[in-house]
Amino acid sequence: MLKLYNTLTRKIETFEPANMGEVSFYHCGPTVYWTQHIGNLRGMTMGDLLVRTLRYLGYTVTHVRNYTDVGHLSSDADTGEDKMERGAKREGLKPQEIADKYIRIFESDAAEINLLEPTHKSRATQYIGEMIDLVSELLAKGNAYETDLAVYFDISTFPGYTALSGQNLDDLVKGAGRAEVEDPAKRSPLDFAMWFFRTGIHVGALQYWPSPFRSRLAPDGSGFPGWHIECSAMSRKLLGATIDIHMGGVEHIPIHHTNEIAQSEAASGKKFVRYWLHNEHLVVDQGKMAKSAGTGMTLTEVKSRGFDPLALRYFFLSAGYRTRQNFTWDALTDAARGLIELRIQAARARGLGLERTALSEDKLAKVDRYRQQFTDALESDLNIPAGLATCWEVLKSNIPPGDKYDLLIEFDRVLGLNLAESAETSDKLISPPDLPADAQALFFRRQELRRQGNFTEADKLRGELGKMGFTVRDTPDGDSTIRKS
Ligand SMILES: [Zn+2]
């Protein structure tokens, strides 16, 4: 049975979807105003691993991963400028051109690290009608109020507002500073905007829609939605009032997801999410990876240093989703070596296993045991690192090569390292650890030089390896392979 850590109850719980065999999953996707850094890509990979795990375990999954292309202000709360507009001004483009551009880059990165396509990739600006409907319902029910600047959710109407974060409400109210541009008509500093009118600091908003809401300063109610209402409205439209799993980064717990719960549950009177999953961050030198801190590395930078995008995926597999993972180039180098080795061993097993012999009973039992071990790892709150370790155990075991290969390919449905594809093309390669020591040292030295951009020296080493009887080839994705000439 699959066990997952539910942030709401702070417990490991047995996962049971509301409808047997079917899982509805909403994953908060990127705000598409800039290239996503690899910390964001890790978060998206954790959602991908959840989907792959659920499918491996036999569930049908409806997976929504949205794009926020309006309404996410520079703070996660109600202050600052819309990030899309900032992007538009920076690049002299329209907000929707910015969204198109960065969705294209994100989707290309997502494909390179082998993220499965979600069932729905909902774009917030295409669901404005649903957002307006939801805000209207909350106004009608008395959970919201209008001021001249915005339509706010009234948190005093929603008991248990801080249930997800576990924070003390009184402390939060006391601690809430006066926002940069405070609305004097706001009833509580914690009330949050679901609709911003096109007035005040947002008078120059580039993206806006008419609405039925009333403001003396925005005659036709024109404005734009807040970030939180977007996820509530899109998940209701695509997955229904109650969803099985909602995932996002831990930073979403105190504001974004807390506000989503308040809106969705106040409107429907039903539980919004049955299992809340939150992934920890990728950190650099123990600090959160962030564009603002200059530590927001992109996949393009990773590739320009000679790494295969799937080496980054392999690196992500080496830490659980609830663990903070520290990024260093050395750690990525280790991951790249691990991936190359895994590919080579998979290719070798495939090559040796082309002629099959029947499995003896004890070997059959062993195959079953490894399969169970892999499943146990997944079911234990997605312990992917243990699943990956099982692959290495399989490779070291005395199971016949063909059956080893089959197991690896089966596990790769979750791991997503494209082992079958690489095995079919690389079974003549030599694993670097199998090289004679002098050749091995040259090979790794050469990879290091390429990563540092020292291609002249790297070319010299290729020549030396050639004299020793080895052919080195650099693949288009920045990796290097070696074989006997
Ligand atoms: Zn969201």
Per-residue pLDDT for 178 more than 60? no
87 with 234, same domain: the answer is yes
Distance 116 CA to ligand 1 centre (A): 19
Within 8 A by CB and 6+ apart from 281, the residues are: 39, 249, 250, 251, 288, 289, 324, 325
Residue appearing with tokens 């792959």: 52
| 116 and 147 in a common domain | yes
* % residues pLDDT > 90 (the chain): 72
**How remote is the CA of residue 191 from the centroid of ligand 1, in Å?**
18
In a domain, 302, yes or no: no
Residue 68 structural domain: 18-279
Task: Let me know whether 459 and 393 are in one domain.
Answer: no
The CATH number of whichever domain residue 182 belongs to comes to 3.40.50.620
Span from the CA of 321 to the centroid of ligand 1 (angstroms): 18
On whether both 105 and 224 belong to a single domain, the answer is yes
- 457-477 pLDDT per residue, tens: 988 999 999 898 888 887 655
**Does residue 312 form part of some domain?**
no
- Same domain for 407 and 449? no
Checking if the pLDDT of 422 tops 80, the result is no
Mean pLDDT, range 170-182, rounded to an integer: 70
- State in Å: Cα 66 to ligand 1 middle: 8
CATH of the domain at 332: 1.20.120.1910
258 C-alpha to center of ligand 1: Å?
10
Query: What mean pLDDT comes out for the span 140-168?
Result: 96
Q: What percent of the chain has pLDDT over 70?
A: 96
**Is the pLDDT reported for residue 360 higher than 90?**
no
Are residues 222 and 257 both part of a single domain? yes
Label the pairing between strands 282-284 and 287-288: antiparallel
Report pLDDT for 471.
84
- Pick from 341, 291, 325: nearest CA to 444: 341
Determine, yes or no, domain membership for 374: yes
279, 312, 339 - which closes a domain: 279
Show Cβ contacts of residue 456 under 8 Å, excluding neighbours closer than 6 positions: none
320 within some domain: no
Q: What is the pLDDT of residues 36-69, one digit of tens each?
A: 999 999 999 999 999 999 999 999 999 999 999 9
Residue 386 lies in a domain: yes
User: How many A from CA of 228 to the centre of ligand 1?
Assistant: 6
Q: Give the tokens for residue 259.
A: 């506000």
Same domain, 396 and 250: no
Which residues, at least 6 apart from 209, have a Cβ–Cβ distance to it below 8 Å? 128, 132, 222, 223, 224
Q: How many domains in the chain?
A: 3
Residue type, 51: V
Residue 316 lies in a domain: no
Give me the pLDDT at residue 354, please: 76
Say what the pTM is: 0.86
The answer to whether 33 and 102 are in contact (CB under 8 A) is yes
| For the ranges 253-262, 358-367, 432-441, the one whose mean pLDDT is highest | 253-262
Average pLDDT, the chain: 92
Whether residue 315 is contained in a domain is answered as no
* Domain presence at residue 30: yes
Residue keyed to tokens 């734009």: 224
Domain's final residue, options 380, 405, 425: 425
Over residues 240-266, the mean pLDDT reads: 97
Q: Cβ of 236: how many Cβ atoms within 10 Å?
A: 22
Give the distance (Å) from ligand 1 centre to CA of residue 208.
20
Task: For residues 407 and 445, state if they share a domain.
Answer: no
The answer to whether residues 477 and 439 belong to one domain is yes
By the 8 A CB rule, do 314 and 417 touch?
Answer: yes
Would you state the pLDDT for residue 179? Answer: 52
End residue of a domain, out of 408, 425, 442: 425
Ligand 1 centre to CA of 142 (Å) is 24
Residue 194 C-alpha to ligand 1 middle, in angstroms?
Answer: 13
Do 258 and 229 share a structural domain? yes
- If asked whether residues 256 and 355 sit together in one domain, one would say no
Between the CA of 457 and the centroid of ligand 1 the distance, in Å, is 48
The reply to whether 160 and 212 lie within a common domain is yes
Distance 63 CA to ligand 1 centre (A): 14
Dist. CA 311 → ligand 1 center (Å): 28
Q: How far is the CA of 312 from the centre of ligand 1 (A)?
A: 25
Ligand 1: distance of its center to the CA of 31 in Å?
10
Is residue 107 within 8 Å of residue 96, measured between CB atoms?
no
